[in-house]
Structure 1
Amino acid sequence: MNRVLVTGADGSIGRAAVSGLQAAGYDVAGLSLRYDHASTANRALVGDARSATDVSAALDGVDAVLHLAAIPHPSLGTPEEVFENNVAATFNVLAQAGQQEVRRAVIASSINAFGVPMNVNDVEPAYYPLDEEVEADIADAYSLSKSVDEQSARMAWRRWGTDVIALRFPLVKAREELLRFAAMAERDPSIMAREGWAYLDLRDGVRAIIAALESPVPGAHVVGLAADDILIDRQTDELLRKYAPDVPLRQAVEGRGSLVDTSRARELLGFAPEHSIHDQAVSAMTR
């Protein structure tokens, strides 16, 4: 496997994934509705992930597909637009890949697939650390679209035998952007409490993508991701006592320990995060 199609190739994760895959020796075709940034893809294609014609042409000659194209937040369209775009794009990409006998796909799911972080109601997670089986409570179109995408992955495996990894990304940004988000969350920690103040350095996001593409594990799997610590520079148990005192804690968390269970990523993909915003922040201040 050395030829990969990346949809959403002009997004922030898409651009990093294209570069990371090329650095790892892959030939990369990129597909995007438009390109607002210069693309390094070996083939930079303009097209719609919802179009059978566009995706079928883009898949020509590839061995695997990384599907990132989506409306990434419920505020970026009407509920109908967000849900219809995301679900149609994911299903179309998986269907075209299956029909062309592309046997490996990685799709971008989200920590929001269980619905609680963006829920308009006064709800909390069933427990911490969050895992892939946590009870869902969905009240927005984006979270619903990601939950359906995970079902589409299972269908693609059953129908076409395509092995699919759905990566549940938390907040994924480059270090500088993570620092800005951390500053906002410090001012009001409650805004990220329902997602456990989870984040992932963009470099680790790309590493997780490559690990998923290269994993020999068959079937369709949902895999949660996060850094090994939380975004805010506080003790995790302190934050839980103040902002989630009624949420059961299934296992002890020390220091700034993460509230996302990433054991499946370690077991299925052999992936563990390497970067911490806190290590980077310390090194930046000492330079």
Structure 2
Amino acid sequence: MFIGVTGSQGKLGRATVARLRDEGHEVIGFDLGGPAGPGFTRIDLGDYGQVLDAFLGVTARHDGLDAVVHLAAIPVNGIVSDAATFHNNVTASFNVLFAAHRAGIRTVVTASSITATGFPFEVAPPRLPLDESHSAAFNTYALGKVVEEAMAAQLVGWDAAASITALRFTNVVDESEYATFERAGEPGYRRDLLGSWIDARDGAQAVALALAHARPGFEIYHVAHPQSGNTDPSRVLAERWFPGVPVADDLGEHEALFSTRKLQEDLGFAPEHDWR
């Protein structure tokens, strides 16, 4: 396929572009800044005209896309004001999803987030491991992701052949950041992430699988390593962090409390990198 990737210069974006190219796809990156060359075009996702124009074709780059992977966003609260985080991210996502619809691009994979499930979990989750059926937002970044998921679920109904997959990524870690796992035995380490994490390269695998298995309709998947980022058993973590919350009888010894069972079962996700 010929695939456009927004946020191509970010941590997950770089890994995704590399993965898709390794699989034989042609890829063009879209971002606010990046290297000049045939594989990249600079666009401002806040400008709908630029987005639609770039999706329809860019002289000397491409004359149409088969799929879009939307990864671009202000990644956390605090970089800009809270309202600006929401406005920027939701507007950019609307522009991407609506431009894809108008351009006849029927396969879209978009980045959602663990924050859309209740991060930082000061309010306890309803059950563990937490699956895709639950959503809750406690900051404007998370609220934007909940809104974007709802928007995608509606827009996909406008075209019977359209496929939109929302991937709720947890904390993305690259090769240079594995030293942080030296804290894996600390009692509160990664509590606000339900003990979860994902290597950027395995996050890219999830994107590739979502594209390969795209089918009409809207789907949400959690994307994390199936094993936690902690040394203590997961049942111990659950009782320490969220006493009284129901825990599945079949919870694995170190299974992440942010469930990726659906991703593994539906798409065959099998991560290749582990901090251990």
**TM-score, reference length from structure 1:** 0.87
Matches within 5 A, 1:16-35: 16-35=15-34
2:99 — aligned with what?
A: 96
| C-alpha contact 1:217 1:268 (8 A) present in aligned 2 | no
Higher mean alpha-carbon deviation, 170-179 vs 84-93, is at: 170-179
Which one has a larger percent helix, Structure 1 or Structure 2? 1
- Could you say what secondary structure the match of 2:164 adopts? strand
The one-letter code sitting in structure 1 at the alignment partner of 2:45 is A
1:277 — aligned with what?
A: 275
Q: Deviations over 1:71-125 (max 9, x none)?
A: 11012121111101111111110100000100100000011112x2236xx4111
Task: Name the Cα RMSD after superposition.
Answer: 1.9
1:166 — aligned with what?
A: 166
**TM-score, reference length from structure 2:** 0.90
1:48 — aligned with what?
A: 44
- Could you say what secondary structure the match of 2:259 adopts? coil
Task: Report deviation, 1:18.
Answer: 1.0
- Could you say what secondary structure the match of 1:10 adopts? coil
> Which runs of no fewer than 5 residues in structure 2 stay unpaired?
58-63
> Which runs of no fewer than 5 residues in structure 1 stay unpaired?
279-287
2:10 — aligned with what?
A: 11
| C-alpha contact 1:125 1:247 (8 A) present in aligned 2 | yes
| C-alpha contact 1:265 1:272 (8 A) present in aligned 2 | no
Q: Deviations over 1:183-230 (max 9, x none)?
A: 34544x425224311111112111110011111422011111211211
Higher mean alpha-carbon deviation, 205-214 vs 238-247, is at: 238-247
The one-letter code sitting in structure 1 at the alignment partner of 2:69 is L
The one-letter code sitting in structure 2 at the alignment partner of 1:30 is G
2:61 — aligned with what?
A: none
Distance 2:259 2:72 in 1: 26
Change (3 A) 1:179 1:210: same
| C-alpha contact 2:30 2:40 (8 A) present in aligned 1 | yes
- Could you say what secondary structure the match of 2:78 adopts? helix
| C-alpha contact 1:229 1:256 (8 A) present in aligned 2 | yes
- Could you say what secondary structure the match of 1:253 adopts? coil
The one-letter code sitting in structure 2 at the alignment partner of 1:124 is A
Higher mean alpha-carbon deviation, 67-76 vs 239-248, is at: 239-248
The number of residues matched between the two structures is 268
